[in-house]
């Protein structure tokens, strides 16, 4: 029915994206730790083993380097593998496969071999999973040529980004913040069409641009709502793609508002926030009415204790405070 909508969680949207890909292309299969019988560490693949069988939903040993390498080999052999790494911290065990093999083969083969591989993983803090399961390292991977880095925050992007990622001839990494899996939203009954090239303005504004991605996007939106009550109009830009960055959308928004605050769950040193800030300074310096601001996670291993973890992460009230200071001190 035209206009019909469906209510679902981010987890369910991700599962529907997997189901659709498996239905649409027989070359697609999912592999990773606990993706089959257990249903996925975050229950994203629950029920898919029963629906598609063990040939296409493959449980793997606890060896990220081994099964990521197997995924690369399958992609080279004509398949369309989706490799799930439980958390971004564990992806470091497969960093050699991702950086030295998947990202470089097209270049090193003189354009002969593409690697059409999608790697999914959870990222971010806020679930009290401690330092070895809670960091935001997607900015590290955004440093590497030869791959795309997607950070879906909304239900729509969780549902719609996987299929175009599978159509890409080169490796695509998808980072899903673990705090988003229970979030709920609505989608049109028909499958959403989502591009994996451009950032998206989630709230229009005129006084300051809040630039963020993933779970921090919603904290930026909450801060913008709070600041609106004070007469400060914030534009909220969801980066969505960290490599390649949609520089044009960033500069266009800053040229409109003349101020920018970047909210990034990664550490401040060498961060995505640093890269975005540099690009604004290079491309929109004369548009700025104030220095570019950055709000990132505390530069510590992520704490386990809830109050310390929350203190380490960017929060809406701190975003509002930083934005307020940026506008009022440079009004």
Separation between Cα atoms, residue 318 and residue 175, nearest integer Å: 24
Domains of the chain, CATH where assigned: 5-188 (3.40.50.970), 200-329 (3.40.50.920)
Name the active-site residue from 16, 64, 138, 235.
64
Name the active-site residue from 133, 138, 235, 275.
133
Torsion of the alpha carbons at 33, 122, 68 and 300, rounded to the nearest 10: -110
Q: Is the separation of the CB atoms in 262 and 236 below 8 Å?
A: no
Neighbours of 330 (CB within 10 A): 13
Structure confidence at residue 1 (pLDDT): 41
**How far does CA 72 lie from the centroid of its chain?**
21
The yes-or-no answer on residue 133 being catalytic is yes
Strands (DSSP E) contained in the chain are 5-9, 28-32, 57-59, 80-87, 118-123, 148-150, 172-177, 184-188, 200-203, 208-212, 234-238, 241-243, 260-267, 293-297
Tens of pLDDT along the chain (331 residues) come to 456 788 999 999 999 999 999 999 999 999 999 999 999 999 999 999 999 999 999 999 999 999 999 999 999 999 999 999 999 999 999 999 999 999 999 999 999 999 999 999 999 999 999 999 999 999 999 999 999 999 999 999 999 999 999 999 999 999 999 999 999 999 987 777 899 999 999 999 999 999 999 999 999 999 999 999 999 999 999 999 999 999 999 999 999 999 999 999 999 999 999 999 999 999 999 999 999 999 999 999 999 999 999 999 999 999 999 999 999 886 6
Structure confidence at residue 3 (pLDDT): 65
Separation between Cα atoms, residue 35 and residue 42, nearest integer Å: 9
What share of residues in the chain are helix, strand, coil (percent, to 5)? 40, 20, 40
Q: What is the pTM of this model?
A: 0.95
Phi (first) and psi of residue 186, to 5 degrees = -120, 150
Secondary structure class of 169 (helix, strand, coil): coil
State the residue for tokens 């629950």. 46
């Amino acid at each position: 029915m035209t206009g019909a909508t469906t209510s679902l969680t981010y987890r369910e949207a991700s599962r529907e994206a997997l189901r659709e890909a498996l239905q649409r292309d027989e070359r697609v299969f999912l592999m990773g730790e606990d993706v089959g019988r257990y249903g996925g560490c975050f229950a994203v693949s629950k029920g898919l083993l029963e629906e598609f069988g063990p040939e296409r939903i493959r449980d793997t040993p606890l060896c990220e380097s081994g099964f990521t390498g197997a995924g690369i080999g399958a992609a080279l052999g004509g398949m369309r593998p989706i490799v799930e790494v439980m958390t971004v911290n564990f992806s470091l065990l497969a960093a050699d496969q991702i950086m030295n093999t998947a990202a470089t083969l097209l270049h090193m083969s003189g354009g002969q071999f593409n690697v059409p591989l999608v790697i999914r993983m959870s990222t971010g803090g806020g679930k009290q999973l401690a330092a070895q399961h809670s960091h935001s390292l997607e900015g590290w991977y955004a440093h590497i040529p030869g791959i795309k880095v997607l950070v879906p925050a909304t239900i729509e992007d969780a549902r719609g980004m996987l299929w175009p990622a599978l159509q890409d001839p080169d490796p695509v990494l998808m980072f899903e913040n673990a705090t988003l899996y229970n979030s709920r939203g609505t989608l049109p009954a028909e499958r959403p069409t989502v591009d994996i090239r451009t950032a998206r303005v989630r709230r229009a504004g005129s006084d300051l641009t809040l630039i963020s991605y993933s779970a921090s996007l919603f904290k930026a939106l909450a801060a913008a709502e709070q600041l609106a009550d004070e007469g400060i109009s914030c534009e909220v830009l969801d980066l969505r793609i960290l490599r390649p960055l949609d520089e044009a959308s960033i500069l266009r928004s800053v040229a409109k508002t003349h101020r920018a605050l970047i909210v990034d769950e990664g550490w401040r040193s060498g961060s995505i926030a640093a890269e975005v800030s540099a690009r604004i300074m290079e491309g929109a310096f004369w548009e700025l009415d104030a220095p570019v601001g950055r709000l990132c996670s505390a530069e510590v291993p992520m704490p386990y204790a809830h109050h310390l973890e929350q203190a380490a992460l960017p929060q809406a009230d701190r975003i509002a405070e930083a934005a307020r200071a940026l506008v009022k001190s440079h009004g």
